[in-house]
Structure 1
Amino acid sequence: MDTDLILKIVNFFETLEYMEGKALLKIDIEKGIKIAVCDIKMKDRFTLEDLHFPDEWTILDVLKETNNIYTCLLKTEYRGGTKFQQLYGKRALKKVRQLLGFDIIFDLPFILTEEKVVVAFIVKNEIIKKFLKMASLWGGVKNISFQPATFSEYNILSCLTERQKEIITAAKKSGYYDVPRKISTEELSKKLGISTATILEHLRKAENRIISSILAGY
């Protein structure tokens, strides 16, 4: 990454502590428009007015403000990038255009801090290597995970194997996750005809996958 671009990014983060996408409300691929709910955390002594967005980003409304965290309705629209070029230079704009030039649908989570950028996107397999090569120009790519894209109604259990899904569902229906717990691990193992050790192994793996899916990017 060139020195001028590094300095511009450092200046951007003089006021911003982090930005996190909370919900993606609308995507218009043809017009390049996305509307999302985002949390924007400003550093001490700064307010949202001190943050200089590129002209492609527009805050439509501030939904609430708590402890210097602004929950905003944010619209992004990729246009000519005049203001972005003024703020960050031609090289940065060129790299952004190259990234946005791929046939990519960006999704959540989206987390932006001074130390890292976490993004999720839907893309064809043949585009992945090209995108990662271009993204590496911005810095190191530390962690990558892939999941097959599905277009049915989202199901949090889709990250589990059939066996894990079967056991954790049975545990839930039997009251294993109720407070107080209505069935012990030993009782559940007898009910399902599986050893206690096997039950615990499947539940732990299933719980870990579900939590990892929910907290992806954190």
Structure 2
Amino acid sequence: MGYSKYSYKMVNLRLLHNDCWTSHMDGHVVKSLGRSFDHSDNGLRALVVVSSSSMKTLKSLMDEGKIKDIVNVQRYSDKFIVDIVQEYNNSVLSILNNNGAIVLDTVKANRREYWTFVTYEYKVPMIVKELNKIGVVEKIKLSDYDGSTREIGLTESEIKYVIAAAKAGYFDYPRKVRAKDLAESLGVKESTFLYHLRNAQKKLINKLLRDLDIREQII
């Protein structure tokens, strides 16, 4: 097995996809759970999470032919999981797949698509060139890819205490339990409990802020 001389890059980009259904989702946020290629009709299947207002917009877009089909809709709480079918040809995913990129995340919001993927650095110019044929790449950011940087890195104690705090209602307003009482139930000093809890909160918030920076605070 040989070793590649080409470096991997993590790419974050913002795209206005011309006349795609996403370009009609003004004011809406759509979170993609996963995508797959349907060989039977050359369609791109996607599971997305949307709000009630976004669900109405999706139905309108299907009636207008912007979306090929809505296969299934499942409601949970105030959200919907929607199984949609769109054209695979000239889709962002088709371009990324053809160039061997690995998709890590994607969000559609305010008529824009936000993609995070990993690819060889030398392939980035070609990907951008092809994406610009179907839309406008408005912003792109490259960074060295290190899988560990996507992890939050909580210790066992931090995981234990943040889960216990969440279950006990420590983060509720008003709080359902005091830190002193929760620490006592866990068999540790209050100072120990708060130390690990605040470390966990700091790591979680930093991860959230990094993600928001990638999205430019779109939500």
| TM-score, normalisation: structure 1 | 0.51
Number of residue pairs matched?
179
CA distance in 1: counterparts of 2:156 and 2:189, whole angstroms: 10
Percent of matched pairs sharing the same residue? 10
Corresponding letter in the other structure for 2:121: E
Q: Which residue pairs with 1:160 in the alignment?
A: 152
Assess if the C-alpha contact under 8 Å between 1:62 and 1:70 holds in 2: no
User: How well do the aligned residues superpose, as a CA RMSD in angstroms?
Assistant: 5.2
Corresponding residue SS for 1:184: helix
Corresponding residue SS for 2:165: coil
Residue 141 (structure 1) shift: 1.2
Q: Which residue pairs with 2:165 in the alignment?
A: 176
The structure-2 alpha-carbon separation of the partners of 1:181 and 1:143, relative to structure 1 and needing over 3 Å to count, comes to farther
The 5 A counterparts of 1:6-17 are: 9=18, 16-17=25-26
CA distance in 2: counterparts of 1:102 and 1:182, whole angstroms: 54
Q: Which residue pairs with 2:125 in the alignment?
A: 130
CA distance in 2: counterparts of 1:113 and 1:23, whole angstroms: 18
Residue 171 (structure 1) shift: 1.1
Corresponding residue SS for 2:155: helix
CA distance in 2: counterparts of 1:125 and 1:13, whole angstroms: 27
Residue 159 (structure 1) shift: 1.8
Indicate whether 1:203 and 2:200 are aligned.
yes
Corresponding letter in the other structure for 1:101: N
Assess if the C-alpha contact under 8 Å between 1:32 and 1:78 holds in 2: yes
Residue 165 (structure 1) shift: 2.3
CA distance in 1: counterparts of 2:202 and 2:152, whole angstroms: 9
Corresponding letter in the other structure for 2:83: L
1:85-133 CA deviation, whole Å, 9 max, x = no partner? xxxxxxxx9x99766631124354331433x321233x33435643674
Q: Specify every segment of 5 or more residues in structure 1 that has no aligned partner in the other structure, as ranges.
A: 1-5, 82-92, 151-157
CA distance in 2: counterparts of 1:96 and 1:9, whole angstroms: 15
The 5 A counterparts of 1:184-195 are: 184=180, 187=183, 191=188
1:24-69 CA deviation, whole Å, 9 max, x = no partner? 164579x97642223573888x92345442xxx632425269xxx9
The 5 A counterparts of 1:27-38 are: 34-38=44-48
| TM-score, normalisation: structure 2 | 0.50
CA distance in 1: counterparts of 2:56 and 2:144, whole angstroms: 33
Q: Specify every segment of 5 or more residues in structure 2 that has no aligned partner in the other structure, as ranges.
A: 1-15, 170-175
The structure-2 alpha-carbon separation of the partners of 1:170 and 1:43, relative to structure 1 and needing over 3 Å to count, comes to closer
Residue 191 (structure 1) shift: 3.0
Task: Return the match for 1:140 from 116, 138, 141.
Answer: 138
Q: Which residue pairs with 2:69 in the alignment?
A: 59
CA distance in 1: counterparts of 2:20 and 2:192, whole angstroms: 58
Assess if the C-alpha contact under 8 Å between 1:176 and 1:182 holds in 2: no
Task: Return the match for 1:109 from 106, 111, 116.
Answer: 106
Structure 1 stretches of at least 4 aligned residues deviating more than 6 Å after TM superposition: 10-14, 192-197, 213-216
Q: Larger relative CO (CA 8 A, sep 6+): 1 or 2?
A: 2
Q: Quick check: which one's strand share is greater?
A: 2
